[in-house]
Each structure stands twice: as structure tokens, then as C-alpha cells.
Amino acid sequence: MTAFTITLDPVGILTDEAFYQLCRANPDVKFERSAQGELVIMSPTGGESGRRNADITTDLNLWNRQVKLGYTFDSSTCFKLPNGAERSPDASWIERSRWGALSPADREKFPPIAPDFVIELRSVTDRLATLQAKMEEYRENGVRLGWLINPQEKAVEIYRPGQTVEVLQDPQQIKGGDILPGFVLNVENIL
């Protein structure tokens, strides 16, 4: 997925409400916003990335339906992180009590919360360094577990607070550990 970043400094600042309305008025375009207020425009994914992402989100949601510990979100969900960035992970999950603590109005728009768990899936056009920076941003904003799945290098990078990034080379599966108890993602069809 190719991303274009536009700096809005010369014309002003895009408020939270203006960003939300821009996204609503352009439903066919995927936007994110950096902590510095830059507008990030992302192109749609290709067929292979879309297929892989559907498998990932389906597996996460099926696990969550069984354990009922939280809520699963797809790649269209935009979260307002504590640093002000508004990001849309490819798949994410939030623990039930944290989601329930948000007001109904906050849950309707771009929820002001960092997910507990995120997945980013690298497409052939994604720059690895850009995705790694995004994963670091998630971790710095309270995400407790993050997986960067990189089919091009047959690797998975695991991000946890206060720990060095763990890199798994060509794993068969990844386990959710304490954050997602019992969740196992089989990555053989993804990598």
C-alpha cells in the first residue's frame, strides 16, 4: 500500500472534528494523521494483502468470540492515540473493560484509545522502516502487544513495552501469550 504524507502547516491545522468529517466525506479513501498533524493518504491494498488481512482478522475475531475478553477491529477502524496521531492498524483488539470505559460518543467516532493488541501486515509496496516506526509509535502509546507480519522477508516482528523487538524467522504460528490468552495465529498461509 503506497502512502502519501501531506503537511498542512501552510494552510492551518486540521482539527479532530475536521479530520473526522474529511474521512466521512471520502469513504473510499483511507486516511491517517500523524502526531505532528500531517495527513497520510493510503491507497487500497492489493489482492494478496487483502486476502491475508481477511484471514488475520477472521482468526482474531473467531478467537475473541469464544473467549469474550474484548473486541476485535478491522483495518477500517481509526484510533486516536494519546500522542494525537490517528492510526488504523490492519487488525486490532481491545480488552472489554477498557472499551466499556469509553463513552458511547467516543466509541462512535475515532475512539481515543490505544488498542491492547495490533497487527500490521506489510504489503509489497510498504516501506519496512515506515511500518517499524508505526509499530514503535503504537508501543509508545500503550499498545501491549504488536505484530508486524512481513511476508516479503518471511518474518514476524513482535513489539512489547520495555522489551527489545523479537524477530521470528519463518514461524509456523504466533501465540498471543498473556495479552491474548489461547490465541494462536497460524501464519503459514500468510507468509
Beta carbons within 10 angstroms of residue 118's beta carbon: 26
pLDDT value of residue 1: 52
For 92-147, how does the pLDDT look when each residue is reduced to its tens digit (9 = 90+)?
Answer: 999 999 999 999 999 999 999 999 999 999 998 889 999 999 999 999 999 999 99
pLDDT value of residue 150: 97
pTM of the model: 0.90
User: What sign results for the dihedral spanned by CA atoms 5, 72, 56, 29?
Assistant: negative
pLDDT value of residue 47: 86
| 116, 94 contact by CB (below 8 A) | yes
Kindly write down the DSSP assignment for every residue of the chain, as one continuous string.
--EEEE--TTT----HHHHHHHHHH-TTSEEEE-TT--EEEEPPP-HHHHHHHHHHHHHHHHHHHHH-SEEEE-TT--EE-TTS-EE--SEEEEEHHHHHTS-HHHHHSS-SS--SEEEEE--TTS-HHHHHHHHHHHHHTT-SEEEEEEGGGTEEEEE-TTSPPEEEES-SEEE-TTTSTT-EEE-TTT-
| Topology adopted by domain 46-186 | tt1808, chain A (3.90.1570)
pLDDT value of residue 120: 96
Low-confidence ranges of the chain (pLDDT < 70): 1-11
Question: Which residues are CB-neighbours of 45 under 8 A, at least 6 positions away?
Answer: 1, 53, 123
pLDDT value of residue 74: 94
pLDDT value of residue 140: 97
| 84, 111 contact by CB (below 8 A) | no
Q: Phi, psi at residue 59, to the nearest 5°?
A: -65, -45
- The three cell numbers locating residue 53: 488481512
Cα 151 to Cα 126: distance, rounded to the nearest angstrom? 11
